[in-house]
């Protein structure tokens, strides 16, 4: 292994260009310190809108932005495209792409991945939604389902292709299920000649007694009502016991479906297991109130990878984008103050999560929002949801494109990103005869 270049002043290494990692770097961009931001991708992605890429409402470039472009004016921030393999807290170095990078301060903001609760073999049949690649793969499955159904003569096989199952009734699952139904009813119903896309089944399965369990019961009930009004079948208190290429079992009931999507759980990024520190049941790092790792005051964990209790509520800080942003700001403030003063205080200020509210959308003009105890539903909630999400997009270009896409979709009920990319092999049991019909008029 080769060693990184010598440390310049204080070397701050940030792993992960998600919400937390970006906020850390932004908080240190005017400080006399060398910052290295390491990520396996060269872009930052706005994860709350991934489901809209998956359902062809937006293009990947609408919600992703090159990391180097974000920090191109800040010479003290270096962007490193690499995959982190191991973290050595004792030697204060990180192994990435078979090279070692030393650090004075380390911020681990590697995020989370899918959790299949011990059934990892379900992954290929039921993809989750955490990355741009996930969204593109799900988009391919959704659009292929309609193409295959258009040319499928076997009735049972056609029904299976037009059945979409979403496992998990949290915000991602609810938003995905609502969008799937909206596509079938409003956006593509006139594009196919041999099938009625409005007959497509969208089934949302959740093991709890209500969807959106983290929301107020009144808002959960409204979300369920809106889902059912769209035509989504909501199955509560249902546990998935088996998934294969042709369907899913909920308890003893089997549903024939070629399209199953996973939104039921998350697990911390595997890099946490290389730290040799205490983790919680989801694999997240148990951190001190200031977000540092016990015994390592120069190492912080932020975002979905951190398991932290809010001292004001004694409740776990939720794995939401606003929480990750606030953690990034908090960590940057600590590092900035210690670098500028040259002193590490005996007691640091603990992280305090400021809950600005939660939102979820069920479809165009349908949403729920809980803002500082005030509860909103319907069109007003959807407008609030739209404005908040646009506001937190990184670039002006992204803000403009997303707003224009939403306006176009709202006015014309048509999304413009319905592209099937990558290699695929249609699964059709019995092909429809596509021989052109002979015209009755010889002159035609």
pLDDT digits (tens, 9 = 90+) for 250-296: 988 999 999 999 999 888 899 999 898 999 988 999 999 999 999 99
Told to judge if 278 belongs to the known catalytic residues of this protein, a careful annotator would answer no
Residue 235: beta bridge partners? 205
Q: What is the 3-state secondary structure (H, E, C) of 25-43?
A: HHHCCCCCCEEEEEECCCE
Give percent above pLDDT 70 in the chain: 93
What average pLDDT score do residues 81-92 get? Answer: 91
With cut-offs at 50, 70 and 90, classify the pLDDT of residue 5: very low
pLDDT at 101 over 70: yes
- CA 155: distance to chain centroid? 35
What would the pLDDT profile of 186-202 be if each residue is shown by its tens digit?
A: 888 888 999 999 999 99
Which residue has better confidence, 183 or 415?
183
What would the pLDDT profile of 204-225 be if each residue is shown by its tens digit?
A: 999 999 999 989 999 999 999 9
Name the nearest CA neighbour of 194 among 148, 230, 229. Answer: 148
Residue 112: beta bridge partners? 268
With cut-offs at 50, 70 and 90, classify the pLDDT of residue 441: low
What would the pLDDT profile of 142-154 be if each residue is shown by its tens digit?
A: 999 999 999 888 8
- HSE of 178 in the Cβ direction (CA atoms, 13 Å)? 26
**Predicted pLDDT at 406:** 79
CA distance 327 to 323: 6
**Predicted pLDDT at 413:** 64
pLDDT at 89 over 90: yes
Question: Catalytic: which of 148, 175, 224, 338?
Answer: 175
Instruction: Put residue 78 in one of left, alpha, beta given phi > 0 → left and psi -120 to 50 → alpha.
Output: beta
What average pLDDT score do residues 78-90 get? Answer: 92
Residue that is written with structure tokens 């759980």 in the block: 265
Mean pLDDT of the chain: 89
Kindly report which listed range (53-67, 169-183, 417-431) carries the lowest average pLDDT score: 417-431
């Amino acid at each position: 292994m080769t060693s990184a270049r010598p440390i310049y002043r204080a070397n701050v290494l940030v792993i992960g260009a998600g919400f937390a990692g970006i906020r850390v770097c932004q908080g240190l961009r005017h400080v006399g310190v060398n910052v290295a931001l390491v990520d396996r991708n060269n872009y930052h992605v706005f994860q709350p809108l991934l489901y809209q890429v998956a359902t062809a409402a937006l293009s990947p470039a609408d919600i992703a932005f090159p990391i180097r472009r974000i920090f191109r004016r800040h010479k003290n921030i270096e962007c490193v495209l690499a995959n982190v393999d191991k973290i050595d807290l004792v030697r204060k170095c990180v192994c990435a792409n078979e090279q070692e990078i030393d650090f004075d301060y380390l911020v681990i903001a590697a995020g989370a991945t899918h959790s299949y609760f011990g059934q990892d073999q379900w992954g290929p049949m039921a993809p989750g939604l955490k990355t741009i690649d996930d969204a593109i793969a799900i988009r391919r499955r959704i659009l292929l389902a309609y193409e295959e159904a258009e040319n499928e003569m076997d009735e049972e096989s056609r029904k299976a292709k037009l059945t979409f199952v979403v496992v998990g009734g949290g915000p991602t699952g609810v938003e995905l299920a609502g969008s799937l139904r909206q596509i079938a009813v409003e956006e593509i119903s006139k594009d196919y000649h041999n099938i009625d896309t409005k007959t497509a089944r969208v089934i949302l399965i959740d093991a709890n007694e209500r969807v959106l369990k983290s929301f107020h019961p009144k808002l959960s009930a409204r979300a369920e009502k809106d889902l059912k009004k769209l035509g989504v079948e909501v199955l509560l208190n249902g546990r998935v016991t088996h998934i294969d290429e042709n369907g899913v079992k909920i308890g003893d009931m089997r549903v024939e479906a070629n399209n199953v999507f996973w939104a039921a759980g998350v697990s911390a990024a595997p890099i946490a297991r290389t730290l040799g520190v205490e983790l919680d049941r989801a694999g997240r790092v148990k951190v001190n109130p200031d977000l540092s790792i016990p015994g390592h005051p120069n190492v912080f964990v932020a975002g979905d990878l951190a398991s932290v209790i809010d001292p004001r509520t004694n409740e776990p800080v939720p794995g939401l984008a606003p929480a990750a942003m606030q953690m990034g700001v908090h960590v940057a403030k600590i590092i900035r103050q210690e670098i500028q003063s040259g002193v590490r205080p005996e007691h640091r200020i603990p992280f305090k999560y400021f809950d600005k509210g939660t939102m979820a959308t069920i479809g165009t003009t349908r949403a729920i929002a809980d803002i500082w105890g005030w509860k909103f539903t319907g069109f007003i909630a959807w407008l609030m949801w739209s404005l908040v999400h646009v506001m937190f997009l990184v670039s002006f270009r992204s803000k403009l494109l997303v707003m224009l896409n939403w306006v176009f979709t709202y006015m014309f009920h048509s999304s413009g990103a319905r592209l099937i990319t990558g290699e695929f092999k249609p699964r059709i049991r019995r092909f429809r005869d596509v021989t052109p019909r002979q015209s009755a008029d010889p002159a035609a």
